[in-house]
Amino acid sequence: MIQALAFYMFAFMTIASAVLVVSSRNPVHSVLFLILAFFNSAGLFVLLGAEFLAMILVVVYVGAVAVLFMFVVMMLDINFVEMRQGFLQYLPIGGLVGLILLCELLTVVGGWVMAPEAASSGLSPTPDGITNTHALGAILYTDYLYLFEAAGMILLVAMIGAIVLTHRRRTGVRKQVIADQLARHPADTIELRKVDSGRGI
C-alpha cells in the first residue's frame, strides 16, 4: 500500500513538473521544474530497485546538466519579446512536429494494446548473483554500446554549443581583460592626498 502511494505521488509530480517545464513563460522556472522532474524520476527508479540509475539521474542530470541549463539561460540575456514576435511564423512547423510525435505515441500505445507480449520479448534476462549496477553496465557496454556512445556525443555537442553561445562577443558589453589588469602600474591609477584633520577632500 505504501509503495503504491509513493509510486502515484512520484508519478503525479513527475508528469506535473514535465507539463510545467514546457508551459512556463519564464525559462528559469522551466529549468527549476525540470530539476523537480528529475528528482521525482529518481524516486521512481528507487521504487523499481534501480538505485544506481536514481543516483546517476540526480548526480549527472541535476548536478550538471540542469545547472548548466540554468547558467546558460541566465547568462544569454535573451530578448523574449523578439522571440515571441515570430511565434506565428513557426506555428505550422511546430504543429507538424507535434502531430508526428502524437502519431508516434499512439503507435507505441497501440502496439502495447494489440501485442502485450511484445514489450517483454525485447527484454534482456535478469541475471542472478550480480547487482543491478553490474547488469546495467554489461548491457550498456555490449548490446547498446554504439547507442551509448552516440548519446555521449550528443551531450558533448550540446555542452560545446552552450559554451560557444555564452562566450560569444556582443557589442556594448564590457569584459574583463586579465592581461591589462596585470600590466597596470599602481602609480597610474592611485593618487595619494594629504588631508588635514577635520577637512574633506
Render pLDDT for 80-108 as a digit per residue (tens, 0 to 9). 666 666 667 777 887 888 888 888 778 76
For residue range 143-162, what is the model confidence (pLDDT) as tens digits? 888 998 999 999 899 889 87
Q: Which residues of the chain have pLDDT under 70?
A: 76-87, 108, 111-112, 115-127, 200-201
> Cα separation of 33 and 16, whole Å?
9
Residue 78 has a pLDDT of 63
| Relative orientation angle of helices 66-76 and 27-47, to the nearest 10 degrees | 180
Report if pTM > 0.75: no
The mean predicted confidence, pLDDT, of the chain is 79
